[in-house]
Amino acid sequence: MVFENTAPSGTVVAPVSSGGVNDDDSAVRARDRLLQKISAEADLPALGSSVSRVVQMASSDDEAVRALAHFILSDVALTQKILRIANTVSYRTAAGRPVTTVSKAIFLLGFDVVKTSALAMLLVDGMSTRHGKNVRTELNHALCASIVGREMARRSQYKDAEEAVIAALFKNIGRLLVASHDHGLYTEIARLVESGKFTPVQASMQVLGCSFDLLGEAVLREWNIPETIILALAPPPAGVLKPAKGRQEWMQQVAAFSSAAARLIPDMNDPGQEAPGKAVLTRFGHALNLDQAKLSQLFASVAEETRVLASNAELVMRVEDHSDVVAEPSSTADNNHGNYSKHASADSDASNADTGLPSELLLDLIDDDRAVFVSDRHASGKPMNARNLLLAGVQDVTHMMASGRCKVNDLLLLVLETLYGSMGFSFATICLKDAQTQQFRARISMGDNFAQRQAGFAFPAAASHDLFHLAMENDADLMISDASVPKIRALLPEWHRSLLPDARSFIVLPMVVQNKPLGFLYADRTQAAPEGVPPDETVLIKTLKGQVLTALRPR
């Protein structure tokens, strides 16, 4: 990793000694030395690349939903964490049923919530392997701050307000880097702060030669984080803040408030916390339209959601994890600790809240939530409980269509992910006919090398004696258990054998309206599937295809 040997613009450095330019230069050199040490010990570029990709996904872009879904699905651990979040009580109550696909999670939770949750999970996975308690403390602080930022963004009228959530998440990135990669330096700074003789900025300058903020800003610039987010990390003016005159100033206030709140929330019910809470309210209340009642409500809801998020990130704090925390500069002057151990995790049984109706009167198509998550698999990779997974997907698509706010691309993505995951395929795509080029071309794909395969998945619409054209001409759904059988292989076009040489079992589902082929759904595995597709699964697969046809029909 290469860092420029210049001070980033807008950086506020508060050296212990008096001085000017020389002190700033020394801070930059100290920052560079520390960053070189960190980058030599950890794969920060890989983490930065992933973070940058997610940060730059814009919610106003329809393509971003697909990009986010693809990104999450490419990481099994991240997929599981996002689905666990979507299935927590606070989100499940809206749907009443388990969420089994990333596409449904994005539709249910919203693009921005899934995006910032994914960023939080990336940060946890990239930083949580070293020096347990200090890193867990800082990661919990980051998660809590991001949720405070999310609540503030929900109340904002500014466009792209969710950038404030990302700023809040990264507000303590400098502290997190030091905690994760130099335990000795981190604890030395903590000792100086606890002595009462140094502020956190002074202590970090004394030990590191640069401030946490300078260190964090350098990393975020290296990660190509947008300038608006980096500028939002600068501390706002001291004292009571006035309402922001623009979006950038508002983001700066939200990031600072979120970080200050995150230091108070874990211990908000402890004796003696009234004064720090009032100090935060005095400083930020007028600027962010908060009073005591709103602040108390905010703290309570954020505390619960943070516990849920930390639990699903496998980041629950331990009893001893409340020590060695470096206090953040704030108007409270209190050293509050990110100790979540005193709070119980969200009770998953709460999702079975009393409805007021006798349980025997409630009709559930799927009785056991576990039935709609992948169980054991056949040798082909197909889940043993494919029927239940398909049924859950059909229900999800039905609910999405009935919501009245369903976009065609979102529905196509959900159908494709359902087919892909429920049947254990390694690659899946939806192909549509291009009227201009008179070709069938892949439009949405997922799975192994999906981008490369989608680019090559195209062939002329002109009649040809191959398996794909014959399927569309006869409107026949094909389930191929073993593509190596000679009579099947003889019908495979050369482009398919070249593009997908390892496809051993696959399906082709033509989409035909009034004898005119619109396209087809295709999905394959690298293993033969002698178990086949029983009638009950076939019905559900045909239902998914019918839902796609309904979405594609002109209104």
Least confident segment among 72-76, 312-316, 334-338, 408-412 = 334-338
Summarize the confidence of residues 529-537 as an average pLDDT: 94
Q: How confident is the model at residue 326 (pLDDT cuts 50, 70, 90)?
A: low
The domain spans of the chain are: 21-55+110-312, 371-552
Find tokens 């502290």 and name the residue.
Answer: 175
Q: What is the CATH number of domain 371-552?
A: 3.30.450.40
pLDDT confidence of residue 144? 93
Structurally, what CATH architecture does the domain formed by 21-55+110-312 represent? Orthogonal Bundle (1.10)
Q: Could you tell me the two tokens for 282? A: 């005095």
Main-chain phi, psi angles of 474, to 5 degrees: -100, 0
Q: Which amino acid is at 8?
A: P
The mean pLDDT of the chain is: 82
Strand, helix or coil for residue 383: strand
* Rounded-to-integer distance, Cα 415 and Cα 71, Å: 17
Q: What are the φ/ψ torsions at residue 519 (nearest 5 degrees)?
A: 155, -155
pLDDT at 100: 85
- Greater confidence, 127 or 249? 249
Lowest-pLDDT choice from 99-103, 264-268, 350-354: 350-354
Is residue 531 within 8 Å of residue 382, measured between CB atoms?
A: yes
235, two tokens: 């501390």
pLDDT tens digits, 227-277: 999 999 999 999 999 999 999 999 999 999 999 999 999 888 777 778 888
pLDDT digits (tens, 9 = 90+) for 364-406: 444 445 556 676 899 999 999 999 999 989 999 998 888 877 7
Has residue 224 got a pLDDT over 50?
A: yes
Cα–Cα dist 525/527, whole Å: 5
Count of CB atoms within 10 A of residue 101's CB? 29
What phi and psi values does residue 512 have, to the nearest 5 degrees? -125, 130
Render pLDDT for 418-461 as a digit per residue (tens, 0 to 9). Answer: 999 999 999 999 999 998 999 999 999 999 999 999 999 999 99
For the record, the structure tokens of 63 come out as 């393509």
- Tens of pLDDT along 308-317? 888 877 765 4
Residue of 447, 431, 423 whose CA lies nearest to 495:
431
Long-range own/partner contacts, residues 93-97 (CB < 8 A, 24 or more apart): 93/351, 93/353, 95/399, 97/366, 97/392, 97/395, 97/396
